């Protein structure tokens, strides 16, 4: 991913949710709450971080991910990560 495109990032994040957690793609919307609506737990969050690190090739600091509550928050975090040199 050279040029950062939010839609592309969303699609990659959506694919990750489908692949890692077997969540139906139609249920994954930007406003979906990770813990309440998508039923993720803290172990799932760690799995997601590891997957995103592999996808981006960048280290994600746990503190940066603590505030993430929705799918859109995940997309924002990945976009910011990709902007870093």
pLDDT tens, residue by residue, 32-44 = 999 999 999 989 9
CATH topology of domain 6-83: 1.10.1200
Determine the pLDDT at residue 1: 44
What are the pLDDT digits (tens) for 66-75?
A: 889 999 999 9
Domain boundaries, the chain: 6-83
Find out whether 52 and 68 touch, Cβ atoms under 8 Å.
Answer: no
Q: Whole-number mean pLDDT of the chain?
A: 91
Average pLDDT (43-69) is 89
């Amino acid at each position: 991913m050279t040029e950062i495109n939010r839609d592309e990032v969303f699609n990659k994040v959506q694919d990750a949710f489908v692949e890692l957690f077997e969540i139906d793609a139609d249920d994954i919307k930007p406003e979906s709450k990770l813990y309440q609506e998508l039923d993720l737990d803290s172990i799932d969050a760690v799995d997601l971080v590891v997957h995103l690190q592999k996808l981006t090739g960048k280290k994600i600091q746990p503190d940066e991910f603590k505030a993430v509550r929705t799918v859109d928050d995940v997309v924002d975090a990945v976009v910011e990560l990709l902007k870093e040199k």
